[in-house]
A and B are shown apart, each in its own frame.
Chain A
């Protein structure tokens, strides 16, 4: 059952020896110690576990490890560079676009994925894109504002 899977994680190559059918979120959190990715529903229904695989947002609770073999995975830990926040993170912080912070890594990565493709995303596009990310605290209005602001700041450059 156990085998070695190689992929790129936050810009660095990693090799994990584990059952390749295990869901990525558990491997990230418990084999690799990256706990920024959260588990909310375990069934791809809340978005807390969102990570990017080859720049596409996926629910890591429903993505088997084997699916990321040879691909690039980005988690929240890989977004800020050398202590400098990414504009999306900065916008979330400046807008207080979170309360408890549990859905925040998934929200930020979801927003990042959208803005990377479409920095000038409209409000309607932001809402549509983040529809699968749940926030129980109700920070939605600030999250939308933060993503809009980050898009403006990024101005199409990442």
Chain B
């Protein structure tokens, strides 16, 4: 693959790979070393004189635990203890290129690269040790970074002594990584490497950096999307002691030694704005979206014949609202112009992309820009681009001092790249035997990614408008503000629609919803996760609504398959839903860190309660009406269901992603459980008490 093609495939203009994965049986295979990653293992690994291994990766840690799982891969191949691997992540000067952290790619795509590098490094180290100890390498073994002669452990040499902190100049071609059967670390739960610094408050996030002389910026923002700054009278702000105002084109910022005082001063700026916002609000948006013509992606079989064979037709529209990323850490960056270089510390998911953005904004050659990524306080796709890094860099250049930009919560809600609202329309039919005869699906507002999971559909069509599920899409004319990747882009939308629809069909066919799914499945992996979930949950088949409040859904993201089962209680007087229990089974191929995988599953279940039950952005005429956590309700402790996770053991399959897949079922599994409880089908996310009540009454 040529570099240009690889960029295209990995979406250097959009971070996430676009592909249709309807054939799920075989997980996606990736080349051992996608060629944009450096071939030289020294780019990833440096062995110190003390025997510690420095592991340099362009990926970033934003809570998902890849600092630990990537360290495990390096430690496993090198045969060193996990504690002896030091991770250095997301520094564009020190780390090898990376396309960005997202799309559950760290293990699936980058894992083989790191493993390959470590395997080659180990083989070279063995060669060097053999020369030092004057034996053939095949007579050597390694334990905890010490190479010794088999049967004569007194003859030994440590990695640190062999390398003495130098770069290793030798290379070996075609070194095979360890077979899975030889793993001693991978596949066993490992404690997180970032634990100590996070429980002591010593973990540094972007806003925690204090460079001498830093000025804190508060940027003048428009009141609505579609409005642009016309003029800003900053005279009152400038009268406050210690205030400076910096203007760079349309960027106007009030600077002060303290961030709270910068914000106080900025409140005194009298700004006027021009421009016409899109005249949509959170209710009218659905008709606006549904009115756009779609592009057909898949069309197989004869839809008309399928419809003619159908004894029952089922047609429904599934809506989901715009959803905020709402990471607790706001966007933050510190920029410093020094000795002809711009260094920006910023919590961004794709530091190498942000490096290019900053260079472009400042009209600097890329080598004069360095991005350093400290810890990131949650991202979920919302920190894929780095606008705050560009803002800080522009202001630092103008101010002649280090500048820190930290958005407040109102800016977070205003400037977010929201998960796009969408309307999914599905028409389908059942034959008299209760089998699906056709499936016609139109997705408006986002892509049709993950709209299929391999159900046997004799005739099918999938069309979609917009690719608003991907990073960097402006959604011009489609959405009233920026949208972007939100944990498993488009999948939450499409799995909600498909799996809700499957339950409606199952009910029409008078078949248990699990049995109905299984009768339309041949994919062993999908069947496997459904069966694993059913066993853990203790699923007892019944036609819905059974009054028990149980639901099932399955989904996929990349090559990982998930199945969820849930039990809910619905308050018939208020429509409030209480989620009592969620079981989630996941087949992610080889599991690197089972405890890390479970953390992602538990977290996704908990986070998923939000988009399912309460999160939906309110807006009108370009103004975002939700500005903080009082009106935009994210899950809290009291919402917590009993959570049980099952990792389906598939060490024979390549490791797949784990950060996003476990969230994709949450809308559907709860919609199906609500239907089972009260017989009402809620077609719109979030399923607020009002909507549940309305569905019960209709």
Interface residues of A (CB under 8 A from B): 22-23, 26, 29-31, 33, 35-43, 45-46, 48, 75-77, 79-80, 85, 89-90, 92-94, 96, 98-105, 108, 126-128, 130-131, 133-144
For residue A126, which residues in chain B have a CB less than 8 angstroms away from its CB?
Answer: 637
A36-B202, A85-B200, A101-B375 given as contacts; is B210 within 8 A of A127 (CB)? no
**Interface 9-mer from B88-96, B191-199, B355-363, B496-504:** B191-199
A23-B260, A42-B409, A139-B599 given as contacts; is B199 within 8 A of A100 (CB)? no
Q: Are A127 and B328 in contact (CB under 8 A)?
A: no
Q: Are A80 and B200 in contact (CB under 8 A)?
A: yes
Q: Are A141 and B198 in contact (CB under 8 A)?
A: no
Interface size class of B (residues with CB under 8 A): 35 or more
Find B259's partner among A30, A33, A102, A140 (CB 8 Å cutoff): A30
As a 0/1 sequence over residues 245 to 280 of chain B, the CB contacts with chain A under 8 angstroms (1 = contact) are 000000000000111110000000000000000000
| B183 CB–A CB distance under 8 Å | no
A30 to B406, alpha carbons, bound, how many Å? 13
A96-B191, A141-B640, A142-B599 given as contacts; is B606 within 8 A of A102 (CB)? no
A77 to B197, alpha carbons, bound, how many Å? 11
Q: Are A144 and B640 in contact (CB under 8 A)?
A: yes
Q: Are A136 and B602 in contact (CB under 8 A)?
A: no
Closest 3 A-B residue pairs measured CB to CB?
Answer: A36-B201, A102-B377, A100-B63
**Interface 9-mer from B223-231, B338-346, B393-401, B627-635:** B627-635
Distance between A17 CB and nearest chain B CB, rounded to angstroms: 13
Interface residues of chain A: helix, strand, loop or mixed (majority): loop
Q: Are A48 and B328 in contact (CB under 8 A)?
A: yes
A49 to B259, alpha carbons, bound, how many Å? 15
For residue A133, which residues in chain B have a CB less than 8 angstroms away from its CB?
Answer: 637
A26 to B638, alpha carbons, bound, how many Å? 30
| B636 CB–A CB distance under 8 Å | yes
Q: Are B63 and A99 in contact (CB under 8 A)?
A: yes
For residue A96, which residues in chain B have a CB less than 8 angstroms away from its CB?
Answer: 191-192, 195, 595, 599
Q: Are A89 and B329 in contact (CB under 8 A)?
A: no
For residue A141, which residues in chain B have a CB less than 8 angstroms away from its CB?
Answer: 602, 606, 640, 643
Find A128's partner among B406, B605, B606, B638 (CB 8 Å cutoff): B638
For residue B607, which residues in chain A have a CB less than 8 angstroms away from its CB?
Answer: 136-138
A29 to B380, alpha carbons, bound, how many Å? 26
- Give 8 CB contacts A-B under 8 Å: A30-B210, A35-B207, A38-B329, A42-B408, A77-B201, A102-B378, A128-B638, A137-B63
Other 9 A-B pairs with CB < 8 A, given A76-B201, A133-B637 = A35-B208, A45-B630, A96-B195, A101-B198, A101-B377, A127-B638, A139-B603, A142-B602, A143-B637
A37-B201, A38-B377, A101-B203 given as contacts; is B191 within 8 A of A136 (CB)? no
A101-B377, A138-B606 given as contacts; is B409 within 8 A of A38 (CB)? no
Q: Are A38 and B205 in contact (CB under 8 A)?
A: yes
Find A140's partner among B192, B377, B408, B606 (CB 8 Å cutoff): B606
Q: Are A41 and B628 in contact (CB under 8 A)?
A: yes
A3 to B470, alpha carbons, bound, how many Å? 51
Distance between B622 CB and nearest chain A CB, rounded to angstroms: 23
Q: Are B602 and A130 in contact (CB under 8 A)?
A: no
Residue from the set B63, B257, B606 with the largest chain A CB neighbour count within 10 Å = B63
For residue A26, which residues in chain B have a CB less than 8 angstroms away from its CB?
Answer: 258-260
A35-B208, A38-B377, A98-B199 given as contacts; is B640 within 8 A of A127 (CB)? yes
Find B409's partner among A33, A41, A140 (CB 8 Å cutoff): A41
Distance between A59 CB and nearest chain B CB, rounded to angstroms: 12
Q: Are A138 and B202 in contact (CB under 8 A)?
A: no
Q: Are A134 and B328 in contact (CB under 8 A)?
A: yes
A142 to B602, alpha carbons, bound, how many Å? 9
For residue B64, which residues in chain A have a CB less than 8 angstroms away from its CB?
Answer: 99
Q: Are B637 and A102 in contact (CB under 8 A)?
A: no
A142 to B607, alpha carbons, bound, how many Å? 14
Contacts of B313-337 to chain A: CB distance below 8 A? 326-330
Find A40's partner among B191, B192, B203, B409 (CB 8 Å cutoff): B409
A19 to B201, alpha carbons, bound, how many Å? 26
Find B199's partner among A30, A85, A136 (CB 8 Å cutoff): A85
| B186 CB–A CB distance under 8 Å | no
A93-B199, A96-B595, A101-B198 given as contacts; is B637 within 8 A of A140 (CB)? yes
Find B201's partner among A33, A75, A144 (CB 8 Å cutoff): A75
Nearest B residue to A146, CB-CB: B199
A107 to B376, alpha carbons, bound, how many Å? 17
| B604 CB–A CB distance under 8 Å | yes
A76-B200, A99-B63, A138-B606 given as contacts; is B629 within 8 A of A131 (CB)? no
A36-B201, A138-B606 given as contacts; is B208 within 8 A of A101 (CB)? no
Nearest A residue to B408, CB-CB: A42
Contacts of B636-675 to chain A: CB distance below 8 A? 636-638, 640, 643
Q: Are A93 and B196 in contact (CB under 8 A)?
A: yes
For residue B377, which residues in chain A have a CB less than 8 angstroms away from its CB?
Answer: 38, 100-103
Contacts of B592-613 to chain A: CB distance below 8 A? 595, 599, 602-607
Contacts of B34-72 to chain A: CB distance below 8 A? 62-65
Q: Are B191 and A100 in contact (CB under 8 A)?
A: no
For residue B606, which residues in chain A have a CB less than 8 angstroms away from its CB?
Answer: 138-141
Distance between A76 CB and nearest chain B CB, rounded to angstroms: 3
Distance between B239 CB and nearest chain A CB, rounded to angstroms: 14
Q: Are A103 and B328 in contact (CB under 8 A)?
A: yes
Q: Are A100 and B327 in contact (CB under 8 A)?
A: yes
Find B328's partner among A29, A35, A102 (CB 8 Å cutoff): A102
Q: Are A41 and B258 in contact (CB under 8 A)?
A: no
A75 to B201, alpha carbons, bound, how many Å? 9
A131 to B635, alpha carbons, bound, how many Å? 10
| B204 CB–A CB distance under 8 Å | yes
A135 to B328, alpha carbons, bound, how many Å? 7
For residue B595, which residues in chain A have a CB less than 8 angstroms away from its CB?
Answer: 96
For residue A39, which residues in chain B have a CB less than 8 angstroms away from its CB?
Answer: 207, 330, 406
A94 to B202, alpha carbons, bound, how many Å? 17
